[in-house]
A = this chain, B = another copy of it.
């Protein structure tokens, strides 16, 4: 190990990359900007990660690790499942602009896989068949991540832009006019819990019916 001059390291790169993603968006993360933010030239990054994809993977893992709050919550399976998805949702809240990384990371990072492993543990133990467990994940996951995409969209395309594109057309869209900005903005985390519970209750019924 050579100089310890306070410089680059894998965790440092990930930290800076995540900061760029959070503040400027995923497309704004490029090797030159990342290097500059580290006070280094672009090619130096390649001594720590083989390519950009590897850096994105490391960011995904770093984010996903935060979803593993308490490894094992107690209570009935509904509650444990609920907590797992609340964790996922909090991830999205914390780093909405990194959502595409979270999406792929669920099955492709160690922490993501551990999250999924625990979910499957809960569901199989509750009595779901493997296929049913996969369905639960897909539906709840789609709902959770779908809300994340709504949030991301309202971040990247501000409501004013949408409204601006509509000026002069309001006559064609009287009901859009009545509903207004709320359509282009998603910021009702409470509704996430509602939807999650409704879907969970449905799966509980299914399980009882079959068991």
Contact = CB atoms under 8 A, between A and B. Distances in A.
A146 B99 CA distance: 12
A112 to B, nearest CB: 11
Interface in A155-201: 157, 162, 165-166, 169, 172-176, 178-180, 182-184, 186, 188, 191, 194-195, 198-199
A144 B153 CA distance: 15
Interface in A86-118: 103-104, 107-108, 113-114, 116-117
The quantity of this chain's copies bound in the complex is 2
A135 interface: yes
A19 to B, nearest CB: 24
A181 to B, nearest CB: 9
A133 B179 contact: yes
A188 B199 CA distance: 16
B165 A108 contact: yes
A186 B138 contact: yes
Contacts of A127: none
Interface string A131-159: 10111011101111111011001000100
Nearest to A153: B103
Given A120-B178, A150-B141, A202-B198, A188 B135 contact: yes
A134 B181 CA distance: 9
Given A130-B182, A134-B179, A142-B150, 15 more contacts: A113-B166, A113-B169, A113-B176, A114-B173, A116-B183, A124-B178, A134-B182, A135-B188, A138-B150, A142-B146, A143-B146, A143-B195, A146-B147, A195-B199, A199-B199
